[in-house]
Amino acid sequence: MSDEQWFYCLKHHAVEPREGCRADDRLGPYPDKETAARALEIARERTEAADRYDQEWDETD
């Protein structure tokens, strides 16, 4: 397994290596460029899953 880390820069809408923009402007780290390129999709999936969990929790009352 590689020690490389990749990030998605929200400012430039691009995949970057560790030596990229400041952390506040990035999502990651991701294990490879391909996964970093999917950062927005991954974030959306995680948000939707969390929203579903919250909705199910609210409905248990």
> CA 42 from chain center: how many Å?
5
What is the per-residue pLDDT across 3-60, written as a single tens digit (0 to 9) for each?
799 999 999 999 999 999 999 999 999 999 999 999 999 999 999 999 999 998 988 8
* Residue 2 pLDDT: 65
Structural domain boundaries, residue 26: 6-59
The tokens describing 11, both together, are 């400012």
* Residue 15 pLDDT: 98
Tally of structural domains, the chain: 1
In a domain, 1, yes or no: no
Q: Measured between alpha carbons, how far is 16 from 26 in angstroms, rounded to an integer? A: 9
* Residue 61 pLDDT: 65
* Residue 54 pLDDT: 93
1 pLDDT tier (thresholds 50, 70, 90): low
Sheet holding 26-30, edge to edge: 14-17, 6-9, 26-30
In a domain, 55, yes or no: yes
In a domain, 29, yes or no: yes
| Strand-pair partners of 9 | 14, 26
